[in-house]
């Protein structure tokens, strides 16, 4: 009888635990209307910008072990755009991104370093493999993940993600027109993700 009472008390106390303590990894998908993958480069010393749409994204955030969260994003190179059509044509052509042979760019996270407060913001970094033109190299992106503005403190159903970093075109063999176009490309990714 005493054993049975102890089991009932143990079960009751488990049910009373906050849901955060019972949290499980959550899968998210990208909300296209609230997301953009932006990039910047210099052409003859003048800053140029462009965007590449997300083709597919698999994001998993584990609230109990944030460092175990994962990111797998594929971009559609054939739909990359800059402000000028002729720059877009050169960029997606065979001497730079070669969109016909390599129609996607993929980033897969390998390690997450949390920020100073133990969060996915405030200095957090995502280290992963970037595959561009069939070449895979490690890259590090500065990361920040926040609740969407206007949502409740415990509502993690929709989040805003910011990723920033720099890559070398030449490292991936996308070094065409190096006399005119800078080697460094700055990435500025803004994404809204929703629990799926």
pLDDT at 1 over 70: no
Q: Is 52 exposed, middle or buried (0-12, 13-18, 19+ CB in 10 A)?
A: buried
Pairing of strands 124-132, 135-147: antiparallel
pLDDT of residue 92: 97
pTM of the model: 0.83
CATH T-level fold of 23-195: Lipocalin (2.40.128)
pLDDT at 50 over 80: yes
Cα separation of 29 and 6, whole Å?
A: 43
pLDDT at 132 over 80: yes
CA distances from 76 to 37, 95, 103, 125 (A): 11, 18, 6, 24
Task: Determine the average pLDDT of the residues in 156-162.
Answer: 91
| Complete DSSP assignment for 24-53 | --EEEEEEEEEEEEEEEEEETTEEEEEE--
pLDDT of residue 23: 66
Task: Determine the average pLDDT of the residues in 165-180.
Answer: 97
Instruction: Map residue 178 onto helix, strand or coil.
Output: coil
- Domain ranges within the chain, ordered by starting residue: 23-195
């Amino acid at each position: 009888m005493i054993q049975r009472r102890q089991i009932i008390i143990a079960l009751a106390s488990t049910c009373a635990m906050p849901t955060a303590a019972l949290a499980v990894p959550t899968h998210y998908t990208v909300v296209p209307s609230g997301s953009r993958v932006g990039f910047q480069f210099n052409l003859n010393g003048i800053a140029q910008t462009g965007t590449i749409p997300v083709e597919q994204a698999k994001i998993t955030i584990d609230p109990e072990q944030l460092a175990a969260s994962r990111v797998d994003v594929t971009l559609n190179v054939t739909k990359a755009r800059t402000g000028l059509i002729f720059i877009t044509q050169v960029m997606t052509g065979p001497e730079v991104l070669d969109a016909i042979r390599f129609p996607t760019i993929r980033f897969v996270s390998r390690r997450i370093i949390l920020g100073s407060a133990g969060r996915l913001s405030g200095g957090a970094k995502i280290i992963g493999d970037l595959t561009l033109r069939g070449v895979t190299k490690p890259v590090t992106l500065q990361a920040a993940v926040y609740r969407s503005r206007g949502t409740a403190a415990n509502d993690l159903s929709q989040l805003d993600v910011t990723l920033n970093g720099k890559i070398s075109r030449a490292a991936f063999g996308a070094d065409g027109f190096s006399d005119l176009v800078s080697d460094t490309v700055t990435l500025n990714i803004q994404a809204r993700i929703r629990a799926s």
